[in-house]
Every structure is written in structure tokens, then in C-alpha cells.
Structure 1
Amino acid sequence: MYILKNALKNITRNKGRNILLGIIMTAILSCVAISVIINTTSSQIIQSYKDKFGSEVYIQTDMKKLKEAMQSGKFDLNKGTGITNDLIRNLGKSEYLKETKITCKYYGVNDKLKALDQDEDNSQMGRVIVAGGDSGQELDSPNLFVIGNNKIENLEDFFKGYRKIVDGKMYSKKEEAIVSDEFAKLNNLKVGDIIEVKNTDKSKKYDPLKLKISGIYQDLATDKQDQQGFMPKMAINNKSNEILTSFDTLDSYNKKVKKDKDLFAIEARYFLKDPDLLSKFDKEAHEKGLSDMANVSTDKGNYDSIVKPVEGLQKISNVFMTLVLVFGGSVLILISILGIRERKYEIGVLRAMGMKKEQIVLGIIFETLFIIVVSLVGGLSIGSFSAQPISNILMKNQLKVQSEAMSDGFAVNMVSIGSNIKDATNATLTNLNVSLTGSAILAITAIALLLGVVSIGIGAIYIMRYEPMKILSERN
């Protein structure tokens, strides 16, 4: 207890030196706090997006290789790039996958039903003659658009609140489907009615796809133009015309009625169990028939646009923290040496009175810990308030640099099957919301204690090396 009381008295006895030491440690810890807060938050974001973009992969056509093959005459039109519905289905069963999201679209026709905005496109909604062989192939322009998903979770508009079921229920069985309230009202449809979707190819007699309406959904998006985007006002571009059903329904119908080719193409998004399995999954895809002109890869462009600025910000914060620790630590060592030299006589007297070396060191430890606690509180407070504005400034600069880099090196070498550009654009980071987390506090506290160890270590070395008589004789 005496040692603790004496240490507290020493804090007030050496006001000038301790205040200077406290200011320097507060400044160091403030800078460290800002760096650690930014670094911790950016690390979490980088890991999150690495998991997202690193585990989500697409089958992509390498346009460069495709062009070279076509120019050299090695491209086989019959085989193509090997991206077939069968391959996409088979890859979905891979042991390397955690999840597979499959979507397909079937465009059909029914003379008794009318699509929204169908009148806006009378010139194109009529019949089309396609040249083929000795006779033309007569096609009807579609007015029914059936979308199949292998999981209800794929219907993101429902989970985001853009759509909701207002009558009946979501489809749960084969040959069940849901339609929009606008489409149902236009065609006097209700829950329980059967919709027949005929193939647009009039030359081939396919049995129609029959779907039972299990529910009616409502589009809650107020801005229809935003939903449609920049596409012209046509039936095919109106989302309220979408008839939603399960992938099994469309896949079973396709296998049942198809003759020489599939009625629709399948799109898939694959999610690996671990991003490191990408090369193995790519190898498996080629073994199952994928051409060398196509490969399986991550969406690197979107990954770079989101993660690269954050990685740049993290590097800046790490460099800044290193410089602060090196420079600040050097100043702290210098002040500690000068402080111990000033207290040589005091230490010599205490040793001559019989106080053990360990007790004197313990007193210095108490003094240093008190200064560290005060400096740590001040540093955390300043750091937590300053981290966000500093992060915004640095992030803005990193986004500008990344944007310029992407503009200078812009090139399109890949065509992605199933890549969701809109989602990636919406996910682009414009600012970093930093906050003081528990892990950040622990890291800053550890650095503060490290600085304390450096300061205490200098005093301890001096005290342990010299005997009291030598200290007093040097003083004289």
C-alpha cells in the first residue's frame, strides 16, 4: 500500500514530466485508435465480401479464346462452349458446392390471355417468319413469361418487400404458379384457375404447359419506370407479366415435350463451400464437358470495384499506425530515459534506505499504469470521434483512384452466365461506417500496455544495473 501511495504522490511531484508524457501517449494512442478502428472495420468488410464474391462463381465464356478459335477455324459450332442445360444441372450436384441457385425463363403464348403493355407493341407482338430450310418457320411473339426458380429464396423481390402475396399462397407443388394482381385483373383470373402456356413455335405440336394459380402477388414498387429500367415499354419488359413457378415444374415440362433441343436455357449461380475450392470446381466442370473457351471464375470486376478501395484504406491506416508507433515510441523512450536520469538521486536514496529493487520497479509500474489509463481514455475518446470523418476523406480518395484505374484499364474479356450486375452495383461501397468495437478496444489497450512496458523497461534496467552508492556518487 505504501508503494502505491508513494507512486501517486510521485505523479504530482513530477507534474511537468508526467503531463508531457501523458500528452505524448494520448497523441500516440489517438492516432493508433483511429488506425485500429478503420483497420478492424475494413478487415470485417473485406472478409465479408471475400466470402460473398469468392464463394459465388459463374460459368463464363472467355471471349478472347473464343475469338482466337473462330479466327483459326477450330471452333465447333455444334459443341459451342459446352455450356448446356445438362452441364449446369450436373454441376449443381458437385461436392464442392454449398448452394446452387437455378433460374429459367420460358416464353409462351395464349390467344385467350393478354399481357400488360401488349398493345404498346402491336407491331412486334404479331407473328414472325424465320427462314429455315426450304420453308419458313412461323413463330408467335410471346405474351406469357414463366420464370422458374429452384428455391423460394431466389425470389428476392418478396424478401426485400417489393412484392407480397395478396390472395392465396406461394406455390409449393409442381404445376402451381403465382401471377400479379394486375395480370389477373386484366384477364379475369382468380386463385384456382388453370393457365395454358403454348409454345411459340407453331410448326411443332407441343402439349401446352398447364399451371394452376395458387396465389396472386402485388408489386409494391411505386416507380414502375425504375423497375423497367431503360428498356422500352413492352410486354416482355413489364415485371407484372411474370408468372412465377418452381424450376422443377418447367424442367419436368421441358423433359416431357422437348424434341431436338431444350425449350429454354438454364442460368445458375454456384456457391462454393470454400473460396479455395474454385480450381477444383473449375477442373470438374471441364471434365464434365465444359469447353476450354469457358471457365468457372468469380466476379472479379465487381469484387475489385468494392474491395480494392477498402484494401487501399486499410493499407494507409496500417502504414500510418506503424509510423506513429515508431516515431512516438522513439520520443517516449527518450523522455523515459531523461525522466529516469532526473530521478537518479531519488532512486539512490530509496535504495540506501533499504528499499528493494523490485519495490522501486513496482512503484514505477504503478506510476506508468496510471498515466496509461488516463491516456488510454483520452486516446479512445479522440479516436472514436475522429475515425469517421478521417475514414470518409480517405475512402473518397481511394474510390477516386480505383475509378480512374478501372477507366484506364477497362476491357471486357468475359461474358458471365448468371452474373447479377444490378446487385453488384447496389453493393458498391461509397463510404465506410466505422465504429469502436470490442476487438478494437482490446487491440488499442494491448498497444498502450506495450508502450508502458517500453517505458517501464528502461527504468527497470537502470535500477537493476546500479547499486545505491554508485548512483549517489554519480549524483555528487
Structure 2
Amino acid sequence: MYLFQNAVRNIFRNKGRNIILALITFLIIFAVTVSFLISGSTKSIISNARAQFGSQVFIVSAGAKEPELSDYLKYGESDLLQKMELSMRSYGRLDGLRALDEEIPDENANVILVSTSRTDLSEEFRKGLRSIAQGSAPEKKDECLVSEDFAKLNGLSVGSRVKIAPAGTGKDGTAALTVSGIYSDNSINGTGGQAGMPLYNRNNEMITTAETAIAIDFIANSTGRQFEAAYFLKNPDSLEDFEKELRDKGLPPDCSVTVNEEEYKQVVGPAEKLSKISNIFLMIVLALGAAVLVLVSVMSMRERKYEVGVLRAMGMKKGNVILGMLTETVLITAVCLAIGLGGGTAAAGPAAEILTQQTVKTGPSDSGQEENFQTVEIRMTSAAAVEISLVALVLAGISSAAGILYITRFEPNRILSERN
């Protein structure tokens, strides 16, 4: 108890020297906290991206003929998958209704049916380029979303029926869909305005479920339809097993099974650069900080040489002298650690945002890189706090050890004689 009380008194007795030591220690802990948090957050982004895009698989056809729609559905029946996402753009002709920008109704396609199995419909709805103004998204079979302009032109409301027929002559069949909701288009490009070209007007797009579109034969097999299937593996490491399974199901040799490397690089690229910058900064801070602390500790101990000599001459053991000095350093470090953790956590967010912007700007010119890069969410975890505390204690130990080794190598009589 005496050693602790004496250590506290010594801290306040030598205010000037200890304020300098505390300020340096605080700056080091502050910088270490910022670096640790940014590095930990970017590692989390990289890990999540590997799990997401490493498990997202596409089938790319290099031949003239790609697999049939039924084949894609068959490929999705695998125990290795956690889910399958389907999306398709197909064409049809309105039966009894008018399309926007349509002058004279004919047998040609005048409506685009956009179908998906995603619950959030598409990236446009997620980013706010489109939003549901009335009703709800299609959930059941034979439901659809129509645009506000299209609904106004044809006097439609939620619950109305829309009939679609196959485009072109010589084709029979009609599909009836129920309007479950009406969407508004908030984009400024591609909204139409070209008379006689209804397919160029985004507001002629009807959005429905993949289940609905697949069940309509003349829609699923319409001329010029665009179909995409994304398979999500339960384990990214099972890609080879999944490809082998697809080959056994008849996947043609000129079709390749690939992961979503492009989006993975767009997300992971800036995150890896940011992690590298924070790690380099951390190494520099630790190296310079340790050197400065050692220098300050040695200079401080030189001033306290006479104090140590008196304590040793009074009979205090060398171990108690060392323990008292270590207690002083630990107390100062503990106070700086508490302040540094709070300040570093508050500053890590803005610092990460600035570094992210600079990283994206200095990277390859790619408009999708900035959009796909995830925001670095800074969060202090118990594991990070423990790691930073250990680093602070190690630095305190190194600095104290240097000063203690310097001062304790002298005998009490020599210290006092030099003073005299």
C-alpha cells in the first residue's frame, strides 16, 4: 500500500515531467486506437465480401447456345446451395391497354416484363431510383407493379387487371396479371419521350415475380429475353463440388461456373488498401512511440537518480524501488488509456471516411467502385479494447524497463557521491 501511495505522490510531485510523459502516451494510444479500429473494420468488410461474393456463383456461356430456362432451374436444385436468385427481362404486347409513347397499336412488343425472385425487387428500389407509391410489391403468383404514368394513362389502380399477349403474329395466348402496387420512377434518364418507341420508356416496365414470368410460356421464351441466375453456395469452398454436380446434370463444356469476381474486387480493393494504410501507420506509430517513450523515460530517470540513491541508502530494496517506478508508469498509462480509447473511437470514423475517399479517388477509374464499397462502420469491441490495452502496457513496460535498467545499475553510494 505504501508503494502505491508513494507512487501517486511522486506523480503529483513531478507534474511537469509527468505531464509530458502522459501527453506522449496519450497521443500514442490515440493513434493506435484509430489504427486498430480502422484495420479491424476493414478486415470485417473483407471477410464479409469473401463470404458473400465467394459464394455467389454464375454460369457464363461462351457458346452460341446457352442452357434452357428449365436447365437453370434444375441447376438450382442442389443441397450445396442456400438459395437461388432469378431475374429476367422479357417482352410482350398489351391486350386492350395503351403503352406510353405508343402511336398506333400493332402486333409488336410494347411492354417489358421485369421479373425477379429478390424480395427487394432490384438495385433501383434499394437505391431509391424507384419506390412503391401505392399498394405493395408483388408476392403472389400473377401479381405485378406498374408505373404511375402507365396507370394514369390506362386508368389503373391497385387491384386492376392487366392482360398481356405474345408479341408478333402467329402466336396465341394471353396472361392476366393483377396490379398489386404502383411505383414511381425517380430517375431522370430513360423515362421515354420518343413517340413510336414504347420500349425505350422505363415507365412501360411491369415488375413481377420470377415465378409468374416462368409460368407464362410466351413470356419466358420471348424473343430477345435476358435471363440471369445467381446461385449462392452454403460454403464458398464447395465451388468445385457444385461445378461437378452441374456437369453431371448436363451443363455444356463451353459454359463456365464462376464467382462474382468483379464486384468482389470493387468492394475488397479499397478495403485492402485502407487496411494496408492503417497497418503501416500503426507500425510507424508503435516504432516512433516506443523510441520516444524510452528516451523520455531515460531522461526522467537521470533526474531521479539522487531520489533512488536516497531510497536505497535508507534500506529500500531494489525490487521495491523498481515496483514503485512501474506503478507510477502504469497509473499514468491507465489514465491515458481511458482517455485515448474514447478519443480514438470518436476520431476513427471521420478518419476512415477521409481515407476511404482518398483510396477510392486514387484507385482505378471505375464508377461502380465507389458505389459498391461498403461504409466502414467503426465499433469498439471488447477484443479491440483488450488488444489496445495490452499494446499500451507493453509500451509502458518497455519505456520503464529502459529507465529502470539505467538507474538501478548504479550502487547507492556511487549515486550519492556523484551528487555530492
TM-score (norm 1): 0.72
The residue number in structure 2 matching 1:271 is 232
The residue number in structure 1 matching 2:331 is 370
Structure 2 distance, partners of 1:55, 1:354, is 70
Of 167, 182, 187 in structure 2, the residue corresponding to residue 217 of structure 1 is 182
Cα deviation 1:326-374 (Å, max 9, x = unaligned) = 2321332344345445545544543454445554343223201222134
The residue number in structure 2 matching 1:43 is 43
The residue number in structure 2 matching 1:208 is 174
Q: Give the unaligned 5+ runs of structure 2.
A: none
Name which of structure 1's ranges 362-371 and 191-200 shifts more when overlaid on structure 2. 191-200
The residue number in structure 1 matching 2:371 is 427
What amino acid is the match of 1:54?
A: G
The residue number in structure 1 matching 2:28 is 28
2:90 matched to 1:147?
Answer: no
What amino acid is the match of 1:92?
A: G
Q: CA deviation at 1:322?
A: 0.9
The residue number in structure 2 matching 1:454 is 398
Whether the 8 Å CA contact 1:34–1:386 is kept in 2: the answer is: yes
Structure 1 distance, partners of 2:325, 2:138, is 74
What amino acid is the match of 1:455?
A: S
- Mark the CA change 1:286 to 1:367 in structure 2 (over 3 Å): closer, same or farther: same
2:406 matched to 1:473?
Answer: no
Structure 2 distance, partners of 1:391, 1:192, is 49
Q: CA deviation at 1:383?
A: 4.1
Q: CA deviation at 1:401?
A: 3.3
Q: CA deviation at 1:426?
A: 6.8
Name which of structure 1's ranges 374-383 and 309-318 shifts more when overlaid on structure 2. 374-383
Structure 2 distance, partners of 1:174, 1:26, is 62
Task: Name the SS of the counterpart of 1:154 in structure 2.
Answer: coil
2:52 matched to 1:87?
Answer: no
Task: Name the SS of the counterpart of 1:295 in structure 2.
Answer: strand
How many residue pairs end up in the alignment? 411
Structure 2 distance, partners of 1:172, 1:155, is 14
- Mark the CA change 1:51 to 1:232 in structure 2 (over 3 Å): closer, same or farther: farther
Structure 2 distance, partners of 1:97, 1:445, is 42
Whether the 8 Å CA contact 2:312–2:412 is kept in 1: the answer is: no
Whether the 8 Å CA contact 1:165–1:215 is kept in 2: the answer is: no
Of 72, 85, 88 in structure 2, the residue corresponding to residue 104 of structure 1 is 88
The residue number in structure 1 matching 2:11 is 11
Whether the 8 Å CA contact 2:60–2:256 is kept in 1: the answer is: yes
Q: CA deviation at 1:112?
A: 2.5
Structure 1 distance, partners of 2:94, 2:15, is 91
Structure 2 distance, partners of 1:93, 1:395, is 40
The residue number in structure 1 matching 2:2 is 2
What aligned pairs does 1:40-439 form with structure 2 within 5 A after superposition? 40-61=40-61, 66=62, 77=64, 80=65, 82-110=66-94, 112-119=96-103, 140-154=107-121, 162-164=130-132, 166=134, 171-189=138-156, 194-204=161-171, 206-209=172-175, 211-219=176-184, 221-223=185-187, 225-226=188-189, 228=190, 234-254=197-217, 262-263=221-222, 264=225, 266-340=227-301, 342-377=303-338, 379-380=340-341, 383=344, 387=348, 390-391=351-352, 394-403=355-364, 424=368, 427-429=371-373, 435=378, 437-438=380-381
Give percent identity, aligned residues only. Answer: 33
Task: Name the SS of the counterpart of 1:95 in structure 2.
Answer: coil
What amino acid is the match of 2:183?
A: Q
Task: Name the SS of the counterpart of 2:397 in structure 1.
Answer: helix
The root-mean-square deviation of aligned C-alpha atoms, in Å, is 3.7
Whether the 8 Å CA contact 1:85–1:265 is kept in 2: the answer is: no
Structure 2 distance, partners of 1:84, 1:285, is 14
- Mark the CA change 1:146 to 1:294 in structure 2 (over 3 Å): closer, same or farther: same
Whether the 8 Å CA contact 2:326–2:400 is kept in 1: the answer is: yes
- Mark the CA change 1:326 to 1:185 in structure 2 (over 3 Å): closer, same or farther: closer
Structure 2 distance, partners of 1:184, 1:231, is 17
Whether the 8 Å CA contact 1:146–1:242 is kept in 2: the answer is: yes
What amino acid is the match of 2:198?
A: A
Q: CA deviation at 1:97?
A: 2.0
Whether the 8 Å CA contact 2:360–2:370 is kept in 1: the answer is: no
- Mark the CA change 1:173 to 1:338 in structure 2 (over 3 Å): closer, same or farther: closer
Whether the 8 Å CA contact 2:163–2:177 is kept in 1: the answer is: no
Structure 2 distance, partners of 1:400, 1:151, is 32
Task: Name the SS of the counterpart of 1:118 in structure 2.
Answer: coil
Q: CA deviation at 1:28?
A: 2.2
- Mark the CA change 1:280 to 1:48 in structure 2 (over 3 Å): closer, same or farther: same
Cα deviation 1:298-341 (Å, max 9, x = unaligned) = 33233323321221121122112112212321332344345445
Structure 2 distance, partners of 1:268, 1:181, is 29
- Mark the CA change 1:296 to 1:351 in structure 2 (over 3 Å): closer, same or farther: same
Q: CA deviation at 1:117?
A: 1.7
- Mark the CA change 1:474 to 1:87 in structure 2 (over 3 Å): closer, same or farther: farther
Q: CA deviation at 1:102?
A: 1.0
- Mark the CA change 1:251 to 1:301 in structure 2 (over 3 Å): closer, same or farther: closer
Cα deviation 1:61-89 (Å, max 9, x = unaligned) = 4xxxx5xxxxxxxx6x5xx3x43323321
